Amino acid sequence: MSTQITRITARKIFNNRGEETIEVDIRTKSGFGRAAAPAGASKGLAEVAYYPKGGVDAAIKVVEKSIAPKLVGMNANQQEEIDSLLHEIDGSENFRRIGGNTAYAISLSSAKASSDSYGVSLYKYLGGQIHYRLPFPLGNVLSGGKHARGRAPDIQEFLVLPIHAKSFLEAAKGNLEFHKRVGELLERTNKPFTGGRSDEGAWLANIDNYEALELITKACEEVSNQLGLQCRIGLDVAGSTLWNSKTKKYVYRHDKIKVTPEEQLEYIQELIQKYNLAYVEDPFHEDDFENFAILTKQSKGCLICGDDLFVTNTDRLTQGIAKAAANSIIIKPNQIGTLTDAWKAVKKANEALYTPVVSHRSGDTTDTEITHLALAFNCPIIKTGVVEGARIAKINELIRIENDLGKERRMAKIPL
């Protein structure tokens, strides 16, 4: 077998929102890898640039003229060297010259080509000889904020987490039932509800945050009793999308209120206590490390997760750790550009006892690689939706991996 790269091809494809994105094929003498880049609706300001000036078309030309000539002949199993070369070719601090999505697609397709050359699954190739534990699925059942159009809750995502499932299949079935029950309750209680769904397949409804939480709490109670699972609720507040930097207030357009950072802290604390929340993502804007730290200290039994706060960046994570801001981090490899950079963020998170959560993006493809990264990086939670084609592809891949592990399959442990 040989992992020597013989050919690199880049093309334009579309994600689940119909947006253009880049896909890269890498062939070695013994294997093949393909990867496409996702896109977020709400992006952290510190994320790498998705593409160079000129978008996907310009990125494809960069691959053909600047990247492929230097990578062909290298070995695909030289992951760190390849990722380092991508940084060197770009030469900027945020991949603005070649594009973070370009780097991501090349980095991941290289890893896939290498694993294929060796004839092993990607998670085993990246994770090595460890005792793999399957992540629990954190699923979006109701959308608001930037994930919605028209009248909807101001909070971006209302999530469910089946924390005591005995298998991933059982957990996935639980989330599907939760999603179904939320839709049924909306049909009964919300007359304007028409069955609309967001990009991630979550329901859309003209209700406020409290109405959404009451409805999801009822659904969780009913489904937990029906299936014998313990369901906990989570939120992605997407605080940066609510924050007005001029007035220094969080603007809740649906509820027609504006709150100060101090009032925002009290509001999130109230929601955590009243609804026994297991997970709160980005409750404040992306530079408010101080209130993240206060909330984390005061919220026992709840993961306070940073997405826009950290953007899978070890420098920002280091800053957060120093201030004890959050106790969990979202891992989105295309936020930082390469697998090596994402792995470094996971490593630092684990060392600081921060819970890493591998996540999809709202604008995603049917690629399933983040499921393999969740196992290889030993992440106890994967945020990958409940329904919709790009989400189901990832859920089904984890079911296949669970079958592949056979008697060795174990569910991860969540620090709740």
> How far from the centroid of its chain's Cα atoms is residue 387's Cα?
15
pLDDT of residue 45: 85
Active site (annotated) includes residue 332: yes
pLDDT of residue 148: 73
Closest CA to 254 of 211, 316, 299, 318: 211
Contact 35, 109 (CB under 8 A): yes
Which of these three, 63, 86, 119, is where a domain ends? 119
Q: Report the C-alpha gap between 263 and 336 in whole angstroms.
A: 32
Closest CA to 110 of 89, 86, 127, 132: 86
Residue 130 in tokens: 């460890």
Same domain, 15 and 153: no
Reduced to 3 states (helix: H, G, I; strand: E, B; else coil), residue 152 is: coil
Instruction: Look up residue 341 and give its amino acid.
Output: D
The count of structural domains within the chain is 2
Find where tokens 């079935």 sit: 173
pLDDT of residue 237: 98
Order of strands across the sheet that contains 243-244: 243-244, 249-252, 257-259
CATH code: domain of residue 367:
3.20.20.120
Same domain, 330 and 394: yes
Same domain, 362 and 401: yes
Phi, psi at 383, each rounded to 5°: -95, 105
Same domain, 176 and 86: no
Contact 155, 235 (CB under 8 A): yes
Active-site pick, 43, 112, 332, 383: 332
Active-site pick, 200, 281, 286, 402: 200
Same domain, 142 and 193: yes
Residue range(s) defining the domain that contains residue 274: 136-408
pLDDT of residue 40: 81
pLDDT of residue 357: 98
Q: Report the C-alpha gap between 161 and 119 in whole angstroms.
A: 34
Q: Report the C-alpha gap between 200 and 386 in whole angstroms.
A: 8
Same domain, 145 and 83: no
Reduced to 3 states (helix: H, G, I; strand: E, B; else coil), residue 143 is: strand
pLDDT per 10-residue tile (average), the chain, 416 residues: 96 96 98 95 85 97 98 98 98 96 98 98 92 95 83 94 94 97 94 88 95 96 92 96 97 94 98 98 98 97 97 98 98 97 98 98 95 96 95 98 94 92
Same domain, 159 and 297: yes
Same domain, 42 and 148: no
In a domain, 414, yes or no: no
Instruction: Look up residue 415 and give its amino acid.
Output: P
Query: Exposure of 131 by Cβ count < 10 A (0-12 exposed, 13-18 middle, 19+ buried)?
Result: exposed
Active site (annotated) includes residue 200: yes
